[in-house]
Amino acid sequence: MYVGRIVSVARTTDGRLCAVYRVSSRSFPNRSAAVGDGKVSIVPKPGHEGDIMKNPYIAYNCVRIVRNGDVAVVTNGSQTDVIAEKIENGMPARDAVVLASLMLDFEKDAYNTPRISAVVDKNAGAGWLGIVRHDGLQVERIPLEFGRIYYVATYEESNVCGERCVEFPATTAEAACDFILGQGVFADRENPVTAVAAMAADYSYHLVAKDAEVK
C-alpha cells in the first residue's frame, strides 16, 4: 500500500520521546536527508537538483529542534519552520501546528497532498500529530505510551486515530529509522526513500537520517 509521507511520535520502552519521519515517493525518489545543526533537510540527490523546478514542495526542512533542545518539530514541508519559530517564541505546540496548517493549507500540487506535522516536547512529556487535508484539519495531543508509536500519513492513513498506533521496539535513532523504513506495519508501506529520527537525549535530540536500500 502506498501512503506517501509519514510522520510519527513515540515513546521508547525506556521512556524517551521520539519523532520519526519517512519520505515515500513514486514521482521524486532521488532525495536524501541532510543532518545539520539542530535541523534536518530533505534535498535532491546530486545530479537531480533540477527536480525542484518540477515540484517546489520536494525540498524543505523536515526537522527543527527548538526551546533549548526540549522540542522537536517534524513535518513533510515548509510548515516545519513556521511551527518551530512559533514554539520558539512561546506559542503552545497545538496552537503552532493549527496556525501553520491554516496559514499554509494543503499543498497545491496535482494530488492536493496534505501537510502532516509532529511535535514532541521533553519538558511536557507530550506529543502532537496534525494533518491538514483539502477536506479538513485535525490536530491531536497523543497519549505517548511506553513502547508505542502513533503515526499519520499523507494518503490512505490520513487521519489521526488510535488505529494508527503500533508497537515501537526501537531504542536508538538509527533503529527508529530502520523501523519506519521497512519493519512492522511499515514493511507493507511502499516506495520508501529516506527516514529521519529525532530521539530524545540527555541534551536536545539525537538526529539520524538514513536512506532506504535500493532494491
Report the CATH number that the domain containing residue 84 is assigned in CATH: 3.60.20.20
What local confidence, expressed as pLDDT, does residue 213 receive?
Answer: 84
Q: What rounded mean pLDDT belongs to the chain?
A: 96
> Is 73 part of a structural domain of the chain?
yes
Nearest to 17 by CA among 176, 161, 182, 181: 176
Distance CA 176, CA 173 (A): 5
The answer to pTM > 0.95 is yes
Interval 41-55 mean pLDDT: 95
**Which domain, by its residues, includes 73?**
6-211
pLDDT at residue 110, rounded to an integer: 87
Mean pLDDT on 85-102: 98
Work out how many domains the chain is built from and give that number. Answer: 1
Tell me the percentage of the chain whose pLDDT exceeds 90: 96
Side chain identity at residue 55, one-letter code: N
The CA distances from residue 87 to 66, 75, 84, 166, 200, in Å, are: 7, 14, 5, 28, 18
Question: Tens of pLDDT along 180-205?
Answer: 999 999 999 999 999 999 999 999 99
Model confidence at 215: pLDDT above 80: no
- pLDDT (0 to 100) of residue 132: 98
Tell me: pLDDT of 57 over 70.
Answer: yes
pLDDT in tens, 15-42: 999 999 999 999 999 999 999 999 999 9
In a domain, 1, yes or no: no
Residue 138, Cα to own-chain centre: how many angstroms? Answer: 15
Angle, CA of 109, 115 and 119, to the nearest 5°? 160
